[in-house]
């Protein structure tokens, strides 16, 4: 088993626990924006796509990388945008509570 | 030497991005701080993308720039869609996320030298999960957009066929691990995985979409994390783990809210058994009421709880509901909204629609919090919700939804149900609520009926 695998596994497990603890506390009110926000964060695969598209390899890998850049970057832009639009809509009534 | 130093700067920037991602989700714990979460996420993502452009491996910028512009060009309209289309948009973005993860895995397979067996195993698993999530999410989006029928599409022996296809994909993956040089098998494995994604989601009905969307969200996260393993990129591992655990938590919440297990959602093909049970029902009388009568009862109430469901979303009645909320509040009536976790087509669907209509979020109450208060409620007004209000879930052991947590609307003094007709929903489960003495049926389109109520109530006040 490569040593990289072990260190990645550590990171995965710890990040999974952090994610569990943080996301457990997200109000059910915001579950839809939660999903669109995690989608936008997940779109960070764009960094891997950029490397594949920009690395001088075969035409096939460059093409695949280019498609991946477009797909993931549109997720990133669209995900943040719609999350912000949704969250802007959530307004409190303030003091006028019964 | 200098390249090594540069790599360290890049890694450091990725660590900052990861911290910002975690903070981003932490800010989401309250609606007050939530928008800061988006900002933190945006800064983290922008930082990660910007430093990647300085990666020494990146030598050609033409395609990167073109595709970043295309991505932004597609992303902005997808970010500006109408709120009623958010469930299908979300499914589509799961598809995009999974597509890019799968494609990068595929490219990694074709890059340079033959992978070791271990690398081959990682790549195969990553590509299988990414591919099935891609097609599965496309099917889910198609169902939500109603390009495809929302009812479950089932045939005899379906589960066996689907599972054989999955086994086929895993078998091909195993063969590749045994001999990574056998490159011919790779495209076949990808195709079989794509096929399995279609077969996985096609049999699932619209009412189960909240769970399916959450599960696909989780899969998309897992495929990104696995890609991080393949590429040895910790920022992907973390982002994927966060997305994966988020989708997993939401799936568990949705399953609990339906009293069903994952297996039951994925392979249970909801909606077949019940049809027979519903057909056996004898004719019973219901009381229907006109908007005038209903408005009279509402005007005399002091506490009203509105229960929205998918029907409200379909009729796009949320703005009319807001008018009703205004006119009742003006009369000094306490109006709140009871939100069932699986109301609508995705987690939190109703909250977003009501927030869009400017209903303050402190009026939107979760099931557990509001259930104890129905006994003190004068009118429970159900708008386009069905199964989540069905008292058979508490009382009738033979009901397919027995044991599912419901909103106890039947305890309210008067129950009003806005519904198109007595035709049971596609789940085909009969709802005894409709035959109670205290229940008034308001037949018609949700938007039209609520409009009628608003009209009557405003006329009364003059």
Q: How confident is the model at residue B461 (pLDDT cuts 50, 70, 90)?
A: low
- Residues of B belonging to the active site: 387
For the stretch A44-61, pLDDT in tens is: 999 999 999 998 788 899
Q: Which residues of B touch A28 (CB under 8 A)?
A: 253, 339, 341, 347-348, 351, 366
* Digit-coded pLDDT (tens) for B378-433: 999 999 998 899 999 998 888 888 889 999 999 999 999 998 877 665 556 788 89
Chain centroid, CA A9 distance in Å: 19
A46 within a domain of the structure (yes/no) = yes
Find residue B418's DSSP bridge partners.
B383, B442
Average pLDDT over residues B247-267: 86
A81 Cβ contact partners less than 8 Å away, ≥ 6 residues apart: B75, B76, B78, B79, B80
Do residues B151 and B252 share a domain? yes
pLDDT digits (tens, 9 = 90+) for B134-171: 999 999 999 999 998 888 888 888 888 999 999 999 99
Residue B79 lies in a domain: no
Mean pLDDT of chain B: 90
A10 within a domain of the structure (yes/no): no
Q: Using an 8 Å CB-CB cutoff, list chain A residues near B229.
A: 5, 8-9, 12
Q: Tell me the residue range of the domain where A44 lies.
A: 29-89
Band the pLDDT of B460: cuts 50, 70, 90: low
Are residues B297 and B254 part of one domain? Answer: no
Q: Do residues B328 and B220 both lie within one domain?
A: no
**In B145-179, which ranges are continuous DSSP H helix?**
158-178
Please write the tens of the pLDDT for every residue from B313-328: 999 999 999 999 999 9
* B345 and B375 together in one domain: yes
pLDDT in tens, B161-182: 999 999 999 999 999 999 998 8
- Mean predicted confidence (pLDDT) in A76-84: 97
**Do the domain assignments include residue B416?**
yes
* Best residue in A34, A37, A45 for a mutation probing chain B (most B CBs within 10 Å): A45
Residue B341: pLDDT band with limits 50, 70, 90: very high
Cβ of A85 under 8 Å from any chain B Cβ?
yes
Contacts A68 to B, Cβ<8 Å: 99-100, 103-104, 107
Q: What string of DSSP letters covers B27-45?
A: HTTSTTTHHHHHHHHHHHH
Domain membership of residue A81 (yes or no) is yes
Q: Is A10 on the interface with B (CB under 8 A)?
A: no
Which residues 80-99 on chain B approach chain A with CB closer than 8 angstroms?
Answer: 80-81, 83, 86, 89-90, 93-94, 96-97, 99
Asked whether residue B53 carries a pLDDT value surpassing 80, the answer given is yes
| Min distance B98 CA to chain A CA atoms (Å) | 9
Residue B39 has pLDDT above 80, yes or no: yes
Residue B145 is encoded by which pair of tokens? Answer: 């957009």
pLDDT digits (tens, 9 = 90+) for A15-35: 999 999 999 999 999 999 999
Whether B275 maps to a domain, the answer reads no
The confidence band for B273, taking pLDDT boundaries of 50, 70 and 90, is: very low
Condensed to tens digits (0 to 9), the pLDDT of residues B424-443 reads 655 567 888 999 999 999 99
Give the structural domain span for B9: 1-74
Q: Flag whether A1 is in a domain.
A: no
Contact A91 B360 (CB under 8 A): yes
Cβ contacts of A6 within 8 Å, gap of 6 or more:
none
B286 shares its domain with B263: no
Total domains present in chain B: 3
Select the residue of A8, A30, A35 nearest B31 (Cβ to Cβ). Answer: A30
Q: Do B67 and B88 have their domain in common?
A: no
Assess whether B128 and B224 both reside in one domain: yes
Residue finishing a domain among B247, B270, B293: B270
Closest alpha carbon within chain B to A40: B41
Chain A: closest CA distance from residue B293 (Å): 27
Q: What is the pTM of this model?
A: 0.91
* A95 domain residue, yes or no: no
Measure in Å the smallest separation between the Cα of B234 and chain A Cα atoms.
7
In a domain, A21, yes or no: no
pLDDT for res B440: 93
Instruction: Decide if B75 and A76 are in contact by the 8 Å CB cutoff.
Output: yes
- B287 plus B227 within the same structural domain: no
Evaluate whether residue B188 is within a structural domain: yes
Question: Which runs of E-coded beta strand occur in B239-378?
Answer: 303-308, 334-339, 364-366
Between B96-100, B211-215, B281-285, B402-406, the lowest mean confidence (pLDDT) is in B281-285
The total number of structural domains in chain A stands at: 1
Looking at the domain assignment, is residue A69 inside a domain? yes
- A18 touching B (Cβ < 8 Å): yes
Cβ atoms B95, B138 nearer than 8 A = yes
A77: chain B residues, CB-CB within 8 Å: 71-72, 75-76, 79
**Residue pLDDT, tens place only, B300-313:** 999 999 999 999 99
Q: Looking at this predicted complex, what is its ipTM? A: 0.94
**Is the domain of B173 the same as that of B62?**
no
Please indicate whether, in this complex, the C-beta atoms of A74 and B71 are within 8 angstroms of each other.
yes
Q: What's the average model confidence in pLDDT over B252-261?
A: 89
What residues contact A19, with CB distance under 8 A and at least 6 apart? B22, B25, B241, B242, B243, B244, B245, B246
Q: Do A57 and B108 touch (CB under 8 A)?
A: no
């Amino acid at each position: 088993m490569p040593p990289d695998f072990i260190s990645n596994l550590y990171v995965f497990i710890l990040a999974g626990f952090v994610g569990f603890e943080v996301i457990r506390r997200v109000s059910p009110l915001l579950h839809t924006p939660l999903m669109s926000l995690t989608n936008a964060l997940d779109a960070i695969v764009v960094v891997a796509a950029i490397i594949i598209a920009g690395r001088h390899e075969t035409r096939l890998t460059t093409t695949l990388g280019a498609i991946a850049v477009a797909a993931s970057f549109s997720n990133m832009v669209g995900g943040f945008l719609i999350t912000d639009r949704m969250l802007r809509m959530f307004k409190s009534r303030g003091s006028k509570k019964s | 030497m200098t390249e090594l130093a540069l790599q360290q700067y890049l890694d450091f920037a990725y660590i900052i991005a990861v911290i910002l991602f975690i903070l981003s989700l932490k800010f989401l714990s309250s609606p007050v701080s939530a928008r800061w979460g988006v900002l933190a996420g945006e800064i983290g993502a922008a930082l990660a993308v910007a430093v990647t452009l300085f990666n020494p491996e990146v030598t050609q910028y033409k395609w990167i720039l073109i595709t970043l512009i295309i991505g932004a060009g597609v992303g902005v309209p997808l970010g500006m869609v109408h709120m009623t289309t958010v469930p299908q948009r979300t499914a589509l973005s799961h598809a995009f996320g999974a597509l890019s993860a799968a494609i990068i895995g595929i490219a990694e397979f074709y890059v340079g030298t033959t992978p070791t067996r271990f690398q081959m195993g990682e790549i195969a698993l990553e590509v299988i999960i990414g591919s099935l999530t891609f097609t599965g999410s496309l099917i889910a989006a198609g169902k939500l957009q109603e390009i495809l029928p929302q009812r479950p599409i089932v045939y005899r022996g379906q589960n066996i066929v689907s599972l054989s296809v999955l086994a086929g994909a895993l078998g091909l993956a195993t063969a590749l691990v045994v001999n990574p040089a056998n490159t011919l098998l790779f495209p076949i494995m990808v195709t079989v995985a794509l096929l399995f994604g279609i077969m996985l989601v096609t049999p699932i009905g619209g009412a189960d979409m909240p769970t399916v969307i959450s599960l696909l969200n989780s899969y998309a996260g897992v495929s990104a994390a696995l890609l991080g393993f393949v590429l040895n990129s910790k920022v992907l591992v973390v982002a994927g783990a966060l997305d994966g655990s988020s989708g997993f938590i939401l799936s568990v919440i949705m399953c609990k809210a339906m009293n069903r297990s994952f297996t039951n959602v994925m392979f249970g093909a909801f909606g077949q058994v019940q049809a027979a049970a519903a057909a056996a029902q004898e004719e019973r009388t219901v009381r229907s009421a006109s908007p005038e009568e209903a408005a009279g009862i509402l005007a005399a109430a002091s506490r009203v709880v509105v229960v929205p469901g998918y029907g409200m979303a379909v009729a796009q009645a949320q703005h009319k509901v807001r008018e009703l909320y205004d006119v009742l509040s003006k009369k000094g009536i306490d109006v709140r909204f009871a939100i069932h976790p699986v109301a609508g087509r995705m987690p939190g669907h109703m909250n977003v629609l009501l927030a869009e209509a400017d209903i303050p979020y402190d009026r939107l109450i979760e099931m557990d919090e509001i259930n104890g208060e129905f006994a003190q409620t004068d009118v429970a007004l159900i708008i386009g919700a069905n199964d989540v209000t069905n008292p058979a879930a508490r009382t009738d052991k033979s009901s397919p939804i027995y044991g599912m947590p419901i909103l106890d609307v039947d305890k309210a003094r008067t129950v009003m149900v806005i519904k198109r007709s007595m035709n049971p929903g596609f789940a085909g489960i009969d709802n005894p609520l409709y035959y109670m003495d205290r229940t008034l049926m308001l037949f018609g389109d949700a938007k039209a009926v609520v409009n009628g109520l608003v009209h009557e109530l405003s006329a009364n006040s003059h």
